[in-house]
Amino acid sequence: MFRKKRINFGSAGWFLLPYFLVYFLFFFLPAISILPMSFTEWSIIGTPKFVGFANFKSIFSNRFFVQALSNTFVYTILVTVILTVLGLLLAILLNQKLRGRVIARTIIIMPYVISSAVAGILWKWMFERNFGIINTYLQQMGLPLVGWLSDPQIALYSIIIVNIWWSVGFNTVTFLAAIQGIPDELYQAARVDGASSFQCFKYITIPQLKPIILYITVLCAANSFQMFDEAYVLTQGGPLGSTTTLVYQIYTEAFKSFRIGYSSALSVITCAIIILITLFQMKINKGENA
């Protein structure tokens, strides 16, 4: 018994080794080094200079940081909620025996294989102020032109529209697969007992889909928190910083202003926020399971 355990342990180590080698060098090392770097001032050239908490102090007194923080949260929460709900509704719709649903499904997922750079460029053209298709039609209908990407009040929501177009298909397919995986007997039994479609949905579909809903929510939140491509292509973080997220700020500080220390401090704060959210989420899950 004892011997078998030891052999298994050594064996598990070999199975894990290749991954953890790559992991250590290309993830762990760079990720951990943001911590010491966040206490320095460094512009890539020369040697880093220790400055204590100066970076953090200047970040918290910077109104652009507060703006980026709020942009990130508004974007992440809206995209996650809309993508999850819409994905589920579309999956339910496409699960009905409607004619043409296979074609509809193909068309809905198609944008997902288009790169976000292409999606961004395409929508930048559609959102174009004077000649873009959306404003052209608005004008024809006698409506005022909308500065989809130039109005600081609107730009972030325009990016949300693009993201929904681009990625709802993936969620739809995942949900669709999960819905089709629910045993038919459950519904048959419920109908025998006289349950309505809505009751079936509430008491069978939703509980059965709970794990996949959780999975999709986490995935969407993680992805939208890291949104970069759309902001880079569509607005370059503008106008007036209205589409600058934490991630975008890290990028500009590091690769445009070459302030590695400052960008590291931003990264540390970002990671701290994520870890707090995750711990919070784990607590909620634990509470639910108990």
For other proteins, the binding residues in 181-200 under the rule CB under 8 A are 181
Residue 49, strand partner residues: 41
Q: Strands 45-50 and 40-43, how do they pair?
A: antiparallel
Name which of residues 85 to 104 contact other proteins (CB under 8 A): 90, 93-94, 96, 98, 100-101, 103-104
Q: 123 by DSSP, 3-state: which?
A: helix
Count, residues in the chain: 290
Q: Which stretch binds other proteins (CB under 8 A): 25-33, 62-70, 73-81, 152-160?
A: 25-33
Residue 41 contacts residue 261 (beta carbons within 8 Å): yes
- In the chain, the amino acid numbered 210 is K
Q: 44 by DSSP, 3-state: which?
A: coil
* Distance in Å, CB of 131 to other proteins, minimum: 5
* Distance in Å, CB of 77 to other proteins, minimum: 16
Told to check if 274 binds other proteins by CB under 8 A, we report yes
Decide whether 151 or 229 has the Cβ nearer to other proteins. Answer: 229
Binding pattern for the stretch 221-260 against other proteins, x by CB under 8 A and - elsewhere:
-x--xx-xx--xx-------------x--xx--xx----x
Told to check if 71 binds other proteins by CB under 8 A, we report no
Q: Which stretch binds other proteins (CB under 8 A): 5-13, 61-69, 77-85, 147-155?
A: 5-13
Name which of residues 136 to 175 contact other proteins (CB under 8 A): 136-137, 139-140, 165, 169, 173-174
Told to check if 129 binds other proteins by CB under 8 A, we report no
Told to check if 81 binds other proteins by CB under 8 A, we report no
Helical pair 260-289 and 246-255, crossing angle rounded to 10 deg: 160
Residue 241 contacts residue 68 (beta carbons within 8 Å): yes
Decide whether 4 or 63 has the Cβ nearer to other proteins. Answer: 4
CA 269, CA 272: separation in Å to the nearest integer?
5
**What Å distances lie between residue 53 and 41, 244, 262, 287, CA to CA?**
10, 24, 10, 37
CA 166, CA 180: separation in Å to the nearest integer?
24
**What Å distances lie between residue 33 and 36, 47, 109, 168, 281, CA to CA?**
6, 15, 39, 36, 27
Q: Which stretch binds other proteins (CB under 8 A): 59-67, 77-85, 144-152, 211-219?
A: 211-219
Told to check if 84 binds other proteins by CB under 8 A, we report no
Q: Which stretch binds other proteins (CB under 8 A): 56-64, 115-123, 148-156, 199-207?
A: 115-123
Told to check if 276 binds other proteins by CB under 8 A, we report no
Residue 271 contacts residue 27 (beta carbons within 8 Å): no
